[in-house]
Homo-oligomer: A and B are copies of this chain.
Amino acid sequence: MDSISIFAPATVANVACGFDIFGFAVANPGDQIILNRRDEPGVSITDIIGDDGRLPRETARNTAGIAIQTYLQHIGRTDVGVDVVLHKQMPLGSGLGSSAASAVAGVYAINELMGRPLPVMSLLPFAMEGERLACGSAHADNVAPSLLGGFVVIRSYNPLDVIRIETPAVLFCTIVHPDIEVNTKDARFILKNEVSLKNTITQMGNVAGLIAGLMTPDYSLISRSLVDVIIEPVRAILIPEFNEAKQAALDNGALGCSISGSGPSMFALSRDAQTAERVGAAMQQAFLSVGVTSEAYVSEINRQGPRVVEL
């Protein structure tokens, strides 16, 4: 095989009560990467489409580039040369795991191109290297669901312990990305370092309820558990009309609604596509009421992770 094209899904991290430990993948949007083998060794980013020139083209500074390079070093194939074309098909810095999707697409693609020497699960550390480059730390709550699909718990980082949770067969996600910027570092900075024991217990109860709700599955329990008493109340101030958009989602039948990653995108879960569409329209309307335009994405949960795209 000399060429391959891979789609890797966008992801919702945090998922209301699950700050830093939960994430899930959506069927749409996501990133597409194309790798072409060439004669001389080295990884070269030959083109990036859809980023308005904002992403670095140098391999060592690009999340997909570094993931591919780290992988090739690991398997001892620095003799291999690939040209990389990245199609960004989702907004950057939106809280949808844009850097993670690129890194996952890259490492999944190179593993396929090399004849799949490593199982998918062991690709995670290479994708996390991309996250280290993009975010300053090797977070897994976007790369893990993008790579594995479905709903994923990061139980521990040291040692890394990633658990895939069974997801209801029918579950739809609405993502609304308001056209504003939230700096990830600001979103971290405003969090308090201390949490009351009372709120910790409430959050633990919701975490337990959400996992049980997903695995049973029990939509009502999922809905009751999609509550964040620690992070959302602090970060909501970074998103104009957050409360109104959330209320609009709930009023229109969403199981729950919260911030995707560190924002500004918001996500909502629904039992059917029609509800998810209605929820998206209502949330967009809430943003529009204060003059903020937005994009809405409605899709099923992605259950498979990355997939090959016909060239």
Decide yes or no whether A155 CB sits under 8 A from chain B. yes
**Are A212 and B156 in contact, with the CB atoms below 8 A?**
no
Decide yes or no whether A92 CB sits under 8 A from chain B. no
Chain B CB within 10 Å — which of A192, A209, A225 has the most?
A209
What is the bound-complex CA distance between A226 and B19, given in angstroms? 20
Interface residues of A (CB under 8 A from B): 17-22, 153-156, 161, 163, 165, 191-198, 200-212, 215-216, 221, 224-225, 230
For A221, the chain B residues whose CB sits under 8 A away are: 155, 163
For A194, the chain B residues whose CB sits under 8 A away are: 194-197
**Are A196 and B197 in contact, with the CB atoms below 8 A?**
no
For A215, the chain B residues whose CB sits under 8 A away are: 211-212, 215-216
What is the bound-complex CA distance between A45 and B19, given in angstroms? 50
Task: Knowing A194-B194, A197-B195, say if A161 contacts B209 (CB, 8 Å).
Answer: yes
What is the bound-complex CA distance between A212 and B18, given in angstroms? 14
**Are B205 and A204 in contact, with the CB atoms below 8 A?**
no
Task: Knowing A155-B224, A211-B211, A212-B215, say if A21 contacts B204 (CB, 8 Å).
Answer: yes
Task: Knowing A193-B197, A194-B197, A196-B193, say if A209 contacts B153 (CB, 8 Å).
Answer: yes
Task: Knowing A165-B212, A212-B215, say if A153 contacts B205 (CB, 8 Å).
Answer: yes
**Are A200 and B195 in contact, with the CB atoms below 8 A?**
yes
Question: What residue of chain B has the Cβ atom nearest to residue A164's Cβ?
Answer: B212
**Which of B153, B200, B206, B224 touches A212 (beta carbons < 8 Å)?**
B153
For A155, the chain B residues whose CB sits under 8 A away are: 205-206, 208-209, 221, 224-225
27 A-B contacts, Cβ less than 8 Å apart? A21-B205, A22-B208, A153-B209, A153-B212, A154-B205, A155-B205, A155-B206, A155-B209, A155-B224, A155-B225, A156-B202, A156-B205, A156-B224, A161-B224, A165-B212, A193-B198, A194-B194, A200-B200, A203-B204, A204-B207, A207-B211, A208-B208, A208-B211, A211-B211, A211-B212, A212-B215, A215-B215
Question: What residue of chain B has the Cβ atom nearest to residue A191's Cβ?
Answer: B197
What is the bound-complex CA distance between A230 and B197, given in angstroms? 9
Chain B CB within 10 Å — which of A155, A192, A221 has the most?
A155
What is the bound-complex CA distance between A19 and B155, given in angstroms? 17
Question: What residue of chain B has the Cβ atom nearest to residue A193's Cβ?
Answer: B197
**Are A208 and B163 in contact, with the CB atoms below 8 A?**
yes
Not counting A20-B201, A155-B221, A215-B216, a sample of 4 additional A-B residue pairs whose C-beta atoms are within 8 angstroms of each other reads A161-B205, A161-B209, A194-B195, A200-B203
What is the bound-complex CA distance between A209 and B153, given in angstroms? 8
